[in-house]
Amino acid sequence: MKQPVVLPPRDEKRIGRANGATFFRSFLLADRRPSVIDFRETLVGLEGTNPRDLPEDLVWAVHGTRSIADASIYFSKASIDEGKLLYEVELWMAFDHLKESTTSVTEQSVRNSGLLTSTRLRADYEQELKDIVLSYVEGRITKKDFAVVSTLSLQQLLVQFPSAVWRFMRERPYVKAFVHQAVVRVAEKNDKREAVGARLNVITFRPDPKRVVEASVRQDAGIKVTL
């Protein structure tokens, strides 16, 4: 694994800091204030993946205004329940031709921008991605179960099999980031409550510090962020 790089901090004077960039947020529950937060320490758990088998070449965070707002509420409550400090790490990442990736996304627009937003796909490209994901799943489950999952939408498939995103990105180096839905594990089950999870938009991306416009910790601007 490469040595973590300190990311550029937030600067209110930076002109057009969000121009051509999208932002996302991750969450860390800690017992004490850290001086540095490695972004990998903040990776939210995703249902359908093994926490002990996380990839070294990809990371992820919560994406989209609504999902981020919901996640902040869930993690804030979890921090209170567990008596821990909550730190919300926000990154802005730049993409070429970003506007192309927001509506009627095609393979060519993904090649141009590097960003694949699975909820904004043109119908034919969405079907193509669904067929690819089904090809990953076929053979791993029974024929009966495969017949059932074949009726699911692409979004439902990605929720059930989030690691399909990892394989898809590894097979296509031009995909720098992939926005999809997933069930985020907010808190594990304990003697006071059931496990807490929420279906949210997530962005899985290649950890390239050169693409990061800025990074900040909402609760404490003095904490550095590395990637």
Ramachandran assignment for 154, one of left (phi > 0), alpha (psi -120 to 50 degrees), beta (any other): alpha
Q: What is the model's pTM?
A: 0.95
Q: What pLDDT was estimated at residue 172? A: 98
Could you tell me which residues are beta bridge partners of residue 141? Answer: 138
Contact 195, 171 (CB under 8 A): no
Nearest-angstrom CA–CA distance, 5 and 3: 6
**Which among 172, 223, 179, 168 is positioned nearest to 205, based on CA atoms?**
179
Structure confidence at residue 185 (pLDDT):
94
Q: Given this model, what pLDDT does residue 54 score?
A: 84
The pLDDT score that the predictor gives to residue 13 is 74
User: pLDDT averaged over consecutive 10-residue blocks of the chain (227 residues)?
Assistant: 86 72 96 97 94 89 97 96 96 90 91 95 97 96 96 98 97 98 91 88 97 95 97
pLDDT at position 102, please?
80
